[in-house]
Amino acid sequence: MLNYINLKYKPQKTDLICEFYLEPNNTTIEKAASHVALESSIGTWTDIGTMNKRIAKTLKPSVFYINKKKNIIKIAYNANLFEKGNMPQILSSIAGNIFGMSALNNLRLLDISFPESIIKSFKGPGFGINGIRKIIGIRKRPLTGTIIKPKLGLNEKEHAKVAYDAWTGGLDIVKDDENLTSMKFNRFNKRVIETLKMRNKAEKETGETKIYMPNVTAETNEMLKRARFVKSCGGRYVMIDIITMGWAALQTLRNADLGLVIHAHRAGHAAFTRNEKHGISMLVIAKIARLIGADQLHIGAIVGKMTGTKHEVKDIGEDIEKQIIHKKSSHILEQKWYNIKPTFAVCSG
């Protein structure tokens, strides 16, 4: 087996860096770390005759940091291990089979630092914070919004009336709930028409720009069809459930360049972010969402039913809104975002 431990290795600017928390299963942390490195790159469960020095020299990752007290490791990967602009492939490597290995009791991907080559292979948000504020005409204060309730059951006109009341009551934004798509009692196209009609009425009465975020979550082709319909009706925003739809769907929507602000809902994230010892952190999810192209993203709230810790919510907000992230703890890797616009952090719950 190749040796993946190299504590003298100095990560290159071209490397993709991952930080993991791990708990070994009847083995040392060094051996467990090696298993993570090999399985997420060029290795497999046994020695193979087709492995050669060229592959090992050019593509073998290095475990360059091990903290035995905190069970934290850092791995530097050659960027050539990953297809540029292909997040499913990247995650199939660094967040794939490694979670099911017998050498580990627990494994959690805490953070990722993407190199310039990978950063620039994605479009990132089409509008970003400044673009969103320009659309709405609000430069400084927080944007305020609400979700239509009950989340399911209202017909199209009832839904539109609730939105109208929210807008004329002073709110900037109204959005669909994450599980409202096109139901028997509330069809997508009719809901969009009725709600945008009431948006126009509210704008005329208040003299303010009002935003409606219709949920276009659906099979990918249907998602695009619905997004184009929103655009044709004069909509400015769409919402998508990024976890249940998947990263490729978010990228498809972003690459369509429809001129719509993309609001990302994170329904389902806690299935792999909530366990502090296993899975993937919300910080990683947020960074990926920004990289692919979410203009806005739910990051949780310090209080309420969908809470996160104060430090977690703050760190996520900073990482998706700033252009340069400086290393400040064992759980925050440095990140330069280059051409990628910031994602507007949304606190809710």
Domains in the chain, start-ordered, CATH in brackets?
Answer: 15-119 (3.30.70.150), 128-346 (3.20.20.110)
**Does 326 qualify as catalytic in the annotation?**
no
**Does 149 qualify as catalytic in the annotation?**
yes
Give me the pLDDT at residue 301, please: 80
Q: Quick one: pLDDT band at residue 55, thresholds 50, 70, 90? A: low
For the chain, percent of residues with pLDDT exceeding 90: 83
Q: Quick one: pLDDT band at residue 52, thresholds 50, 70, 90? A: low
Cis peptide upstream of residue 150 (ω within 30 degrees of 0)? yes
Q: Determine contact, residues 72/106, Cβ cutoff 8 Å.
A: no
Which among 210, 263, 265, 287 is annotated as catalytic? 265
Decide if pLDDT at 44 tops 80. Answer: no
Q: Determine contact, residues 122/292, Cβ cutoff 8 Å.
A: yes
Burial label for 301, CB within 10 Å (0-12, 13-18, 19+), is middle
Q: Quick one: pLDDT band at residue 129, thresholds 50, 70, 90? A: very high
Decide if pLDDT at 6 tops 70. Answer: yes
Torsion-angle region of 123 (φ positive above 0: left; ψ -120 to 50: alpha; else: beta)? alpha
Query: For all residues of the chain together, what is the average pLDDT?
Result: 92
Each residue's pLDDT tens digit, 68-87: 999 999 999 999 999 999 99
Q: Comparing C-alpha atoms, which of 349, 325, 344, 342 is closest to residue 17?
A: 325
Distance CA 199, CA 27 (A): 61
3-class DSSP state of 237:
strand
Which among 68, 70, 134, 149 is annotated as catalytic? 149
Decide if pLDDT at 65 tops 80. Answer: yes
Each residue's pLDDT tens digit, 206-226: 999 999 999 999 999 999 999
How far CA 68 is from CA of 23, 25, 32, 276, 309, in Å, comes to: 10, 14, 12, 17, 25
Which of 6-20, 299-313, 330-344 comes out lowest in average pLDDT?
A: 299-313
Each residue's pLDDT tens digit, 247-294: 999 999 999 999 999 999 999 899 999 999 999 999 999 999 999 999
Q: Comparing C-alpha atoms, which of 201, 102, 109 is closest to residue 157?
A: 201
Give me the pLDDT at residue 303, please: 73
* Tokens of residue 292, six digits: 């692919």
Give me the pLDDT at residue 329, please: 58
Distance CA 293, CA 298 (A): 14
Give me the pLDDT at residue 50, please: 62
Decide if pLDDT at 134 tops 90. Answer: yes
Stretch 220-237: mean pLDDT, rounded? Answer: 98
Q: Determine contact, residues 297/318, Cβ cutoff 8 Å.
A: no
The β-bridge relationship of strands 335-336 and 211-213 is: unpaired
Q: Quick one: pLDDT band at residue 151, thresholds 50, 70, 90? A: very high
Q: Quick one: pLDDT band at residue 40, thresholds 50, 70, 90? A: confident
